[in-house]
Amino acid sequence: MTIGTDEKFRFNGLTLANLPRKSRGILRGGGSTRPVIWRVEEKGARAVVKDFSRNRPFFRHVIGRFLVWREKRAYQRLKGLRGVPALYKVMDGLALVLEEIPSESLENLEKQRRLPELFFRELEMLVGRIHERGMAHCDLKRAPNTLCGHDGRPYIIDWGASISQKEMKMPPLNLVYRRFVRDDEMAIIKLKLRHRPESVSRADRARYQYRGRGERFIRALRDWARDLLQKTV
């Protein structure tokens, strides 16, 4: 989506304190480990706020801050990419103000309707561009992290678990990074299998189902690296 720098400044007056008053409502309630997702509108521009400031103190200050920092870095690296919402600002290191994508999430969407072939071609291109920028999303297997915009195009959100190629340069971490990139690709196949199983090639199906010994080793290494990156704060 095009980034209106203009839009960005419309949220200058938004703070954690005035957020409940200014909000148009809660899009998703928070939980012990989940941020509250608010919807806001300022001078005609819409945003969602992913807010960890209302979580319990330990989670808020340790995990919340860390996740917001990582997600912010990911959005900065992906700035300007169509299919990734714009980051308008971060409030007190605890909440991200993001461009609202008029959309529906892919969670259970296949029960209502099947997404067209073009959607998946665009999703593949989008994920390819993300990888070209040296980022792996790492949580694409969760369908709610992919949105189908009202314009019919794919959008990817929720970058807190993403990994950059830069931080995984040293062997054997470079192999783990490659694995994360493949995981993103596998996630597309998984979504495609739900919506258009007939269009998944045999090769992709086999790739998706294959679990060799080397594969198991690299998966274990990947899970170890992910836990380390997500939990070591």
Ligand X SMILES: Nc1ncnc2c1ncn2[C@@H]1O[C@H](COP(=O)(O)OP(=O)(O)O)[C@@H](O)[C@H]1O
Q: How far apart are CA 123 and CA 185, in angstroms?
A: 10
| Cross-strand pairs, 48 | 39, 98
Q: Which is nearer to ligand X, 53 or 145 (CB)?
A: 145
Q: Which of 3, 16, 27, 63 binds ligand X (CB under 6 A)?
A: 27
| Cross-strand pairs, 2 | none
Q: Does 127 bind ligand X (CB under 6 A)?
A: no
Q: Which of 7, 19, 35, 66 binds ligand X (CB under 6 A)?
A: 35
Q: Are 73 and 56 in contact (CB under 8 A)?
A: no
DSSP secondary structure of 65-111: HHHHHHHHHHHHHTTT-TTSPPEEEEETTTEEEEE---EEESTTGGG
Q: Which of 158, 183, 184, 185 binds Mg ion (CB under 5 A)?
A: 158
Q: Which of 50, 70, 179, 195 binds ligand X (CB under 6 A)?
A: 50
Q: Does 157 bind ligand X (CB under 6 A)?
A: yes
Q: Does 144 bind ligand X (CB under 6 A)?
A: yes
Q: Which is nearer to ligand X, 40 or 176 (CB)?
A: 40
Closest by CA position to 49, among listed 71, 76, 32: 71
Q: How far apart are CA 8 and CA 88, in angstroms?
A: 5
Interaction residues for ligand X, span 70-109 (CB under 6 A): 85, 98-101, 103, 105
Residue 83 interacts with which of Mg ion, ligand X, none, CB < 5 to 8 Å by class:
none
Burial degree of 184 (CB within 10 A; 0-12, 13-18, 19+): buried
Q: Which of 145, 154, 183, 188 binds Mg ion (CB under 5 A)?
A: 145
Residue number with the smallest Cβ distance to Mg ion: 158
> What are the backbone angles phi and psi of residue 192, rounded to the nearest 5°?
-65, -40
Site for Mg ion, rule CB under 5 A = 145, 158
Site for ligand X, rule CB under 6 A = 27-28, 34-35, 37, 48, 50, 85, 98-101, 103, 105, 144-145, 157-158, 160
